[in-house]
Amino acid sequence: MVDRPALILLTALTACGLLVPMLSLVVPESSALHVTTYTVALLGKYMTYALLALAVDLVWGYCGILSLGHSAFFALGGYAMGMYLMRQIGARGVYGNPLLPDFMVFLNWKALPWYWYGFDMFWFAALMVLVVPGLLAWVFGWLAFRSRVTGVYLSIITQALTYALMLAFFRNDMGFGGNNGFTDFKDLLGFDLHASATRVGLFVISTAALAGGYLLCRYVVTSRAGRVIEAVRDAESRARFLGYRVDSYKLWVFVFSAVLAGIAGALYVPQVGIINPGEFAPLNSIEVVIWVAIGGRGTLYGALAGALVVNYAKTYLTGALPEMWLYALGALFVLVTVFLPKGIVGLLPRARERPVS
């Protein structure tokens, strides 16, 4: 039942998940093979990006919903985690207030807003990581799909959604730290976030989340529901006249994808150490779509490969030639669209062949 790309991918992720911790913790720092904590955190960040790309590929590649607002779900998951991390700081903040995060003390707030309650408990924050993006996707999707908003119109309103959230989160009186967002985190479940071992742990969890997310998405797309989702992409009215409630399928896949994006965001925040409204920027969502397009949409592993390759290139180029990055990204996108409509993985032989059912 497991096809070759899936096998290769899972093997690679497992190898990564074992090798990187060893090279970081066991191999001495003097060795050329030693992986620094900085690199571990960077790789962990790539893994969360790849999970986000997977979520976008599921809605776009398989269901034809070009969401240009998926970073909103990623950022919401990140904010939920960030709120927990802020509460964990406690009295160790600059102002030493045991209850209020620094930015609230700075704004002269006397009490914790009601929506911050519960975030001192990890289980609650973890639940919110799933619920908040999922709920937003459900409300948004219910309105959009029921009214049969499709194509470019849907893409535009997803952009509007993430833009509106960005503006809202920039406001200080929203209670989410305004344009500074959250930072200066100390620990997560008692583990020091600055310790190498914690960084390695987060990397391993991100890699496992990516592998798990991939397996879940793969299960979905190879199920009959997955075939219906593709059918909706290719001939929506035909699916409707066959008796499928197209809006339910779209809504389901959109919510599922948003939850995956939220998980990715929650894993991203402790590794980069900051979350601010910039994560909601419309450009971020568009970038994710470019990763997926470059990797090859509608394959899952293509999205994953695209996210890793493009982000590695970004890290390298923004270091070497900072002003060239956006041109390089644009050029890459154009070249791939024109010459490789199936993305990088389209170069692989038999990449698009489907398993015989």
Partner 1 sequence: MNIAGPQASHGLILYIEDITVSFDGFKALNSLTLYIETGELRCIIGPNGAGKTTMMDVITGKTRPDYGSAWFGQSIDLLAHTEPEIAQAGIGRKFQKPTVFVQHTVFENLELSMAGNKSVWRGLFARLSPAERDRIDEVMETIGLSECRHVLAGTLSHGQKQWLEIGMLLMQAPRLLLVDEPVAGMTPQETERTAELLSSLAGAHSVIVIEHDMEFVRSIAEKVTVLHEGRVLAEGSIDQVQSDPRVVEVYLGE
- 59 binds partner 1, rule: CB under 8 A: no
CA quadruple 278, 281, 286, 288: dihedral sign: positive
Q: What is the dihedral of CA 129, 75, 108, 112, to 10 degrees?
A: -10
Considering only 31, 36, 223, 337, the residue that binds partner 1 (CB under 8 A) is 223
Enter the tokens of residue 94.
């600059």
By CB under 8 A, is residue 227 in contact with partner 1? yes
* Interface mask toward partner 1 for 274-313; x: CB under 8 A: ----------------------------------------
Nearer to partner 1 among residue 3 and residue 192 (C-beta): 3
Find out whether 314 and 49 touch, Cβ atoms under 8 Å: no
Instruction: Determine how many CB atoms are found less than 10 A away from the CB of residue 241.
Output: 9
CB of 253 to partner 1, least distance (A): 8
- Work out whether 148 is an interface residue with partner 1 (CB under 8 A): no
Rounded distance between C-alpha atoms, residue 124 and residue 140, angstroms: 23
The least distance separating partner 1 from the CB of residue 214, rounded to whole angstroms, comes to: 17
Candidates 237, 320, 338, 350: give the one binding partner 1 (CB under 8 A): 237
By CB under 8 A, the residues from 250 to 279 that bind partner 1 are 252
Number of residues near partner 1 (by CB under 8 A): 28
Least distance from partner 1 to the Cβ atom of residue 73, Å: 19
**What is the smallest separation between the CB atom of 251 and partner 1, expressed in angstroms?**
9
Does position 241 bind partner 1 by CB under 8 A?
A: yes
- Residue 261, helix vs strand vs coil: helix
16, two tokens:
């990564």
The interface region with partner 1, picked from 96-104, 166-174, 219-227, 266-274 by CB under 8 A, is 219-227
The sign of the CA dihedral 117, 118, 121, 124 is negative
Q: Is the CB of residue 34 less than 8 Å from the CB of residue 23?
A: yes
Q: Note whether 182 binds partner 1 by CB under 8 A.
A: no
Q: How crowded is the C-beta side of 301, counted as CA atoms within 13 Å? A: 18
- DSSP output for 116-160: GTTTTSHHHHHHHHHHHHHHHHHHHHHHHHHTT--HHHHHHHHHH
What's the min distance (Å) between Cβ of 329 and partner 1?
29
Is 216 near partner 1 (CB under 8 A)?
no
In the complex, the smallest distance separating the C-beta of residue 220 from partner 1, rounded to whole angstroms, is: 7
Interface with partner 1 (CB under 8 A): 220, 223-228, 230-231, 233-235, 237-246, 248-249, 252, 354, 356-357
